[in-house]
């Protein structure tokens, strides 16, 4: 299981934390008895138990079909209808998968569209798709979001022009609401294979529904293990009801206490670039959940050691308003020892025989010491290795902690009223009919 260590948070001892047992127990109760704000959006809480073999088999067989007919699968979606799938896929897939023959599985290359309104980005994708066999997975809970709708209109036409209208239908899968929205209507009218996003699961909590599971299965990863990891974490968090033993309570509470002490920014850090999109997923989950009513920690992220050569100076000596949470991965997948070099002109022979992972973990330790010396509170999630099971645990852990954090701030962690502001302006400027 993943572990959590807050001993280097600099400001609060275990005894300080214990004084807030009642406060955290109250919000834990609200969440687990489904009596808090936004309780009609708590479907994610039980997803790991409720996702049954029938659904998993349907998802897997759809994924197998898409795999057989595609070199590329384009996942069209934005926000919660995009980030979870990409977070897991990028964490697990070969970093250079596009450069076959080095890829480590035969699954299609999964790429993404509809998560921006860049004309260049879309046109470059179309250029690639001219020369490849491909399928589309279009995801939108509301079925009306502008960015994926534009991308889908264009990609659907490309697909129909390339394969013919009837064959194109076999290459398009829609994931949307069970009854509402334009995408549902289009799927029904065209007979696309369709998966449902449950009513009581909001976008950013939906990675363990078909929204995440289908793209992850298409990319060749084990969705049963992902669910198993989430289920194990669910069991852990629901059976350990006290602060002493419940790592989500600990994480939510220490974040809240740090926030109240003026630490307004959380820097989520990984020492592995494969986790960059996991950090993007975390940013959306916490940003959209907590940032409202003039409250909330600003969630941001960094990849070390890369960003130690850019943000490192600020973190060490800039304004003291941030704390760091490290995704500390203990084992790498590959091992490359530092080779001997008789000339030693680069002066690296002192590292002889050490693996890159050992050096990376040492960089992590050295950085932690330096940042703690520089008065940056350090929290640590210790993850044995990056695999489906551990990612499932992390997903459920962060979702649960985020909900607790929202309740500590006394806000509804499951709505996102602020997201509408830019849309209203854009629609007015574009002259969208009312
Ligand atoms: O978390 C959320 O609710 C949002 O980020 C949505 O996922 C995002 O806006 C996309 O919405 P939809 O799935 O309706 O297209």
| pLDDT for position 379 | 98
Q: What is the dihedral of CA 270, 272, 273, 276, to 10 degrees?
A: -30
Q: Catalytic one among 90, 236, 266, 288?
A: 288
Tell whether 73 and 213 lie within a shared domain: yes
**Same structural domain for residues 18 and 120?**
no
Is 309 labeled as catalytic in the residue annotation? yes
Query: How far does residue 354's CA lie from ligand 1's centre (Å)?
Result: 45
Cis omega (within 30 of 0) on the bond before 101? yes
Global pTM reads 0.97
- CA-CA distance, 313 to 236, in Å (whole number)? 38
Residue ending a domain, choose from 221, 251, 283: 221
**How many whole angstroms from 425 Cα to the centroid of ligand 1?**
18
Bond before 130 cis per omega within 30 degrees:
no
* Domain match, 163 and 299 both: no
Domain for residue 428, yes or no? no
Does some domain include residue 138? yes
Residue 158 shares a structural domain with residue 293: no
Does residue 16 belong to any structural domain of this protein? Answer: yes
pLDDT at 296: 97
Question: Per-residue pLDDT tens for 273-302?
Answer: 999 999 999 999 999 999 999 999 999 999
Work out the number of other CB atoms within 10 angstroms of the CB of residue 276. 17
Distance CA 290, CA 418 (A): 11
- Whether residue 26 is found in the same domain as residue 65: no
423 labelled catalytic: yes
Residue 343: CATH number of its domain: 3.40.50.10490
Is residue 20 located within the same domain as residue 79? no
Please give the Cα distance from 387 to 394 (Å, whole number).
Answer: 11
pLDDT (tens digit per residue) in 166-177: 999 999 999 999
Whether residues 13 and 156 share a domain: the answer is: no
Both 298 and 175 in one domain: the answer is no
What pLDDT, on a 0 to 100 scale, did the predictor assign at position 103?
64
Domain that holds residue 395: 3-35+226-418
Q: Are 393 and 233 in contact (CB under 8 A)?
A: yes
How close is the Cα of 144 to the center of ligand 1, in Å?
A: 10
Q: So what's the pLDDT on residue 157? A: 98
Q: What does the pLDDT read at residue 186?
A: 95
Statement to judge: residues 196 and 232 lie in one domain: no
Q: Is 106 a known active-site residue?
A: no
pLDDT score of 420: 84
Low-confidence ranges of the chain (pLDDT < 70): 100-104
* Ligand 1 in reach of 141 Cβ (< 6 A): yes
The answer to whether residue 423 is domain-embedded is no
Total domains in the fold of the chain: 2
Residue 297 has a pLDDT of: 98
Domain-embedded: residue 161: yes
My answer on whether 70 and 22 are in the same domain is: no
Residues 216 and 281 in one domain: no
Q: Give CA–CA dist 9/199, Å, rounded.
A: 38
**Would residue 104 count as lying in a domain?**
yes
């Amino acid at each position: 299981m993943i572990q959590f260590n807050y001993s280097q948070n600099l400001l609060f001892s275990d005894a300080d934390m214990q004084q807030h047992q009642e406060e955290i127990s109250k919000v834990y109760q609200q969440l687990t008895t489904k009596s808090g704000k936004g309780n009609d959006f708590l479907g994610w809480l039980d997803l790991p138990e409720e996702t049954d073999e029938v659904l998993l088999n349907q998802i897997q067989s759809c994924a197998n079909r898409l795999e057989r007919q595609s070199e590329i699968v384009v996942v069209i979606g934005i926000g919660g209808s995009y980030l979870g799938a990409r977070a897991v896929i990028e964490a697990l897939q070969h970093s250079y998968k596009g450069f076959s023959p080095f890829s480590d599985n035969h699954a299609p290359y999964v790429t993404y569209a509809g998560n921006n309104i860049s004309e260049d980005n879309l046109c470059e994708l179309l250029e690639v798709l001219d020369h490849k066999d491909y399928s589309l997975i279009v995801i939108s809970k509301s079925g009306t979001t502008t960015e994926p709708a534009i991308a889908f209109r264009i990609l659907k036409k490309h697909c129909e022009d390339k394969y013919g209208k009837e064959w194109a239908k076999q290459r398009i899968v829609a994931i949307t609401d069970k009854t509402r929205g334009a995408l549902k209507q289009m799927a029904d009218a065209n007979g696309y294979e369709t998966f449902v996003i449950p009513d009581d699961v909001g976008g950013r909590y939906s990675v363990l529904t078909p929204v995440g599971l289908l793209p992850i299965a298409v990319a060749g990863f084990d969705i049963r293990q992902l669910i198993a990891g989430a289920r194990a974490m669910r069991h852990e968090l629901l059976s350990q009801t006290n602060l002493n033993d419940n790592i989500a309570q600990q994480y939510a509470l220490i974040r809240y206490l740090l926030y109240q002490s003026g630490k307004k920014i959380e820097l989520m850090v990984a020492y592995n670039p494969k986790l960059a999109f996991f950090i993007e997923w975390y940013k959306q989950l916490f940003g959209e959940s907590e940032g409202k009513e003039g409250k909330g920690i600003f969630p941001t992220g960094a990849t070390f050691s890369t960003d130690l050569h850019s943000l490192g100076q600020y973190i060490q000596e800039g304004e003291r308003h941030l704390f760091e949470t490290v995704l500390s991965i203990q084992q790498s997948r590959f091992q490359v020892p530092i080779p001997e070099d008789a000339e030693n002109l680069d002066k690296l022979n002192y590292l002889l025989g050490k693996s890159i992972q050992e050096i990376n973990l040492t960089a992590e330790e050295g950085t932690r010491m330096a940042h703690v010396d520089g008065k940056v509170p350090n929290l640590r999630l210790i993850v044995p290795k990056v695999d489906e099971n551990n990612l499932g645990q992390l997903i459920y852990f962060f979702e649960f902690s985020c909900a607790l954090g929202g309740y500590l701030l006394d806000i509804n962690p499951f709505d996102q009223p602020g997201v509408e502001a830019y849309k209203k302006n854009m629609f007015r400027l574009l002259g969208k009919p009312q």
